[in-house]
Structure 1
Amino acid sequence: MAYRSLLRVPGAGFFPLGFLARLPYATSTLATLILVRAASSSYAFAGLAAAAQGIATAVGGPVLGALSDRHGHRSVGVAAAVANIVALTGLIAASHADRVSMLAAAALVGLTQPPVGPLVRVHWSRLLHARDRHALMPTALSYEATADETSFVVGPAIVGLLTPIGPAAPTMGAIALLALATLPFALSLSRRDGTRPTTPKATRTPLPRRPLAAMFLAMAAMGAVFGAVQTGVTAYADGSGRPGTAGLLYAVFGIGSALAGAACAWLPARFAPRHRYATFAATLLLGGLILVAGDGLHAVPAAVAVAGITVAPYMISLYTLTEQLAPPDRATVTMTIVCGAGPLGTAAGQAVAGSLADGHGSAGAFFVAPIAATAALLLALGLLWADRGRGVWLVAGSGANAGELEVHKQSAST
């Protein structure tokens, strides 16, 4: 019933277009790896280019988010899609030039990456609030998490299908998706999906720095788990003599997460967002421990499938709290800052897990997952204790955009 009610809000056509619009993000990093590897004959340099693209995405996302809050989602979304098409075209051209050109082009691709996920989550919040349907926000966030996870199953599959055509084919596929899906999706957004100040000097609501920093670190921990799993399944596949199965294993991880995300729509309303956050941080740690145990028992595929179930509920709780703490006139930049922590955490997780995998194989790589999840759990418990014991930063309501969120200032004594 919850998803049926959600379908009636934006219209059924919104969903397939919104899903296809996020596929360029799910394909471009892997496409860059393949293209740069073929052009440079170096895995190390290809990894460096992909890392530069990921870091640039994390940096460019908040900038595009701030511009979206000021000038509207449609204008910035369209401009970013066009700029990303140009940047990807430039990357293909740079693949015939020197390494400096390829590195700069990869970074430019990241800087111009359209932040479809944050844009659509803020769009949901404002759309549901405008129609007095804010109770459907958890359902919308559950759907978005499911769509994200599914895109990271479909995206790599598209890259795999296009790669035999030529090393530039996946990048050209990303360009086609941008032109045929991301650009039309941006055009479908309202001009008012951003809060434009009445005058150039209008005062902007300050960002909630402490809770925003907490959500940033929480998402970075989630990214580190992703990086550990990606590296772990790659090491496992190589060690088992079937390197081609790495993508399939990671797809299983994504499928489990997508199914769990869809199920989150039916969580009871009395299960408060801050309690969900702490609970799902604990299950994320359990998932990391299952990965380590599964490797020891030579049951990695089953462990990956079970561990994937713990991912989306944790991410949905982060998005829910972020949506609640975001000032209405700076919702998009708030969401893009938190989302930007994901690729940074993934890069860090891949670096640490890769180093451990060199000496200890997949077991060393997987061990990074429970370490990162432990940090996530300690952060969640610390914030829950602070909120309950002193009421210092967040009282969970039903959404900042509905005007029902209360942010408390610390007293002078604290």
Structure 2
Amino acid sequence: MLRTRYACRTFGAALSGRLSYGMVSLSLVLAVKETTGSYAVAGTVMGLFGLTSVFLSPTRAGLVDRYGPRRALPPMGAAYALALSGLAFAALWSDASRVLMGLLAAAAGSSAPPLGPVMRTVWSNLVPDRRMLQRAYSLDSVAEELLFVAGPLLAGLLGRVTAPSVGLAVSAALMLVGSLFLVSSPAVLPEVDRGESLSRQGLSKELVSTVEPAALQRLSVRSSPDLCRAIAVSAGVGVCLGAFDLLVIAFADEHHAPETVAWILASLSAGSAVGGLLYGAVSWRASRVQRLSILAAALGTSLATAGLSSHVSVLIAWAALCGLFVAPVMTTAYLIADESAGSDTRTRVGAWVNTACNAGSAGATAATGLLLGRLPLPVCFMLAAAPAVLSAASALNRATGSASAAVALTDQEGT
């Protein structure tokens, strides 16, 4: 798949920019904490960055769909880099305004380029074969997982060798360079042929010419119940991942082994990498909705069982098992999103899946912080796993019901 023309060049540029997202969280917290001496301020600034980045992600992706990556990404990358650079400069001054740092963080989050959804759209254009596209998405998910492992390590190293604000500057440079190199690739199309993409969905050229673009986007999104299922399951997976970070810390503290937190999280990431590569290499017979439901249910069940671990080493093993399902379930969700949209809405629809996962993660982090100390730890693990299991069961039931209705309708028509 990597031998596909322009694949390595385009994928490498996207990964360079996406490494910024792996670095920026830790760099931002360390820089603001060093400047203000307050974890509360650092958390608030990071919260502003995260909230604006997550909830405006579909809007930014919509701009990419409307104007094309070559026109939309460079201004976003420049604004993101400028805001982060300003924040890095402000963090060098001990009397820097906290309000200014919050505004700069919000500006950076608001303009964060959606390189992940854009790259998945490019994969769909580069690799039209569905089996190869599954491998491409699996590789993309694995690489993203590794970036979010390597990013904090690089940010921590820069913070120890130089200053935390340097990590912000490097994050800004990575995003700007990655965005520019990505849009310079011949694989990134300058514009979208809206009529062609919609004709593949069964819409006539006469309808395409008479309906507004925004209405066509709503039509392509709302006409796919599978997309709604993918978004719901992605949110449930996000809840699992967001809660797991805090649950691991609480578990390690309870067993008087705080130094093992990194090993547990690394085990989850390693399991996800292995699961993603295996998933991409197998030709599956089950439908994508069925696979999505089974994988999400397996992830939730594994997480709930992990809360019953009697020792840190047992939790490390369960974390690896949970990780086996993370990349595959997200890969399947992105594949469903790709099938549910034409080329004119593909970036936006993929961003909705990503936003659902990130929003679920952010909400779970806040909720888990409130529950810890009030409920037994195994119960917290089960509550964190419940959304993934419930969303998987709901998606599978609706898919089964839709299939049964289709069969009944076919039989009725035949009669």
TM interval, short-chain normalised: 0.7 to 0.9
Q: How does 1:13-412 map to 2 (within 5 A)?
A: 13-95=9-91, 96=93, 97-129=96-128, 133-164=129-160, 165-188=162-185, 190=187, 192=189, 194-195=191-192, 203-204=212-213, 205-207=216-218, 208-209=221-222, 210-241=225-256, 243-294=258-309, 299-359=314-374, 363=378, 365-391=380-406
The alpha-carbon deviation at position 197 of structure 1 amounts to 6.1
The alpha-carbon deviation at position 46 of structure 1 amounts to 2.0
* Aligned-partner Cα distance in 2 for 1:229–1:42: 25
1:46 aligned partner, one-letter code: A
SS in structure 2 of the partner of residue 329 of structure 1: coil
Indicate how the Cα distance of structure 1 residues 149 and 53 shifts in structure 2: closer, same or farther if over 3 A, else same. Answer: same
Indicate how the Cα distance of structure 1 residues 214 and 11 shifts in structure 2: closer, same or farther if over 3 A, else same. Answer: closer
For residues 226-276 of structure 1, the C-alpha deviation after alignment (integer angstroms, 9 at most, x for no partner) is 111111223234445554543343222112101101111122242321221
For the aligned residue pairs, the C-alpha RMSD in angstroms reads: 2.8
Indicate how the Cα distance of structure 1 residues 38 and 359 shifts in structure 2: closer, same or farther if over 3 A, else same. Answer: farther
Indicate how the Cα distance of structure 1 residues 103 and 250 shifts in structure 2: closer, same or farther if over 3 A, else same. Answer: same
Whether the 8 Å contact between 2:252 and 2:260 is mirrored in structure 1 is yes
> Scaled by the length of structure 2, what TM-score is found?
0.84
Indicate how the Cα distance of structure 1 residues 278 and 213 shifts in structure 2: closer, same or farther if over 3 A, else same. Answer: closer
Whether the 8 Å contact between 1:349 and 1:368 is mirrored in structure 2 is no
2:143 aligned partner, one-letter code: A
* Aligned-partner Cα distance in 2 for 1:350–1:52: 15
The alpha-carbon deviation at position 311 of structure 1 amounts to 1.0
- Once structures 1 and 2 are overlaid, which stretch shifts more, 379-388 or 62-71? 379-388
Q: Which has the larger radius of gyration?
A: 2
* Aligned-partner Cα distance in 1 for 2:336–2:312: 37
Whether the 8 Å contact between 2:194 and 2:343 is mirrored in structure 1 is no
SS in structure 1 of the partner of residue 8 of structure 2: coil
Indicate how the Cα distance of structure 1 residues 40 and 174 shifts in structure 2: closer, same or farther if over 3 A, else same. Answer: same
* Aligned-partner Cα distance in 1 for 2:74–2:59: 15
Indicate how the Cα distance of structure 1 residues 296 and 252 shifts in structure 2: closer, same or farther if over 3 A, else same. Answer: closer
Indicate how the Cα distance of structure 1 residues 47 and 367 shifts in structure 2: closer, same or farther if over 3 A, else same. Answer: farther
Whether the 8 Å contact between 1:146 and 1:258 is mirrored in structure 2 is yes
Whether the 8 Å contact between 2:238 and 2:356 is mirrored in structure 1 is yes
Indicate how the Cα distance of structure 1 residues 319 and 34 shifts in structure 2: closer, same or farther if over 3 A, else same. Answer: same
The alpha-carbon deviation at position 30 of structure 1 amounts to 2.2
The alpha-carbon deviation at position 187 of structure 1 amounts to 2.5
Whether the 8 Å contact between 2:158 and 2:167 is mirrored in structure 1 is yes
1:282 aligned partner, one-letter code: A
Whether the 8 Å contact between 1:51 and 1:347 is mirrored in structure 2 is no
The alpha-carbon deviation at position 6 of structure 1 amounts to 4.0
* Aligned-partner Cα distance in 1 for 2:27–2:384: 25
Indicate how the Cα distance of structure 1 residues 184 and 245 shifts in structure 2: closer, same or farther if over 3 A, else same. Answer: farther
Identity over aligned residues, as a percent?
26
Indicate how the Cα distance of structure 1 residues 146 and 333 shifts in structure 2: closer, same or farther if over 3 A, else same. Answer: same
Count of residues in correspondence between the two structures: 386
- Once structures 1 and 2 are overlaid, which stretch shifts more, 154-163 or 164-173? 164-173
Indicate how the Cα distance of structure 1 residues 174 and 374 shifts in structure 2: closer, same or farther if over 3 A, else same. Answer: same
The alpha-carbon deviation at position 11 of structure 1 amounts to 4.3
* Aligned-partner Cα distance in 2 for 1:229–1:154: 19
The alpha-carbon deviation at position 167 of structure 1 amounts to 2.4
1:252 aligned partner, one-letter code: S
> Scaled by the length of structure 1, what TM-score is found?
0.84
Structure 1: state its 5+ residue gaps: 393-407, 409-414
Whether the 8 Å contact between 1:233 and 1:362 is mirrored in structure 2 is no
The alpha-carbon deviation at position 223 of structure 1 amounts to 1.1
- Once structures 1 and 2 are overlaid, which stretch shifts more, 355-364 or 197-206? 197-206
For residues 138-182 of structure 1, the C-alpha deviation after alignment (integer angstroms, 9 at most, x for no partner) is 111111111111111111111121121222122122123224434
1:123 aligned partner, one-letter code: V
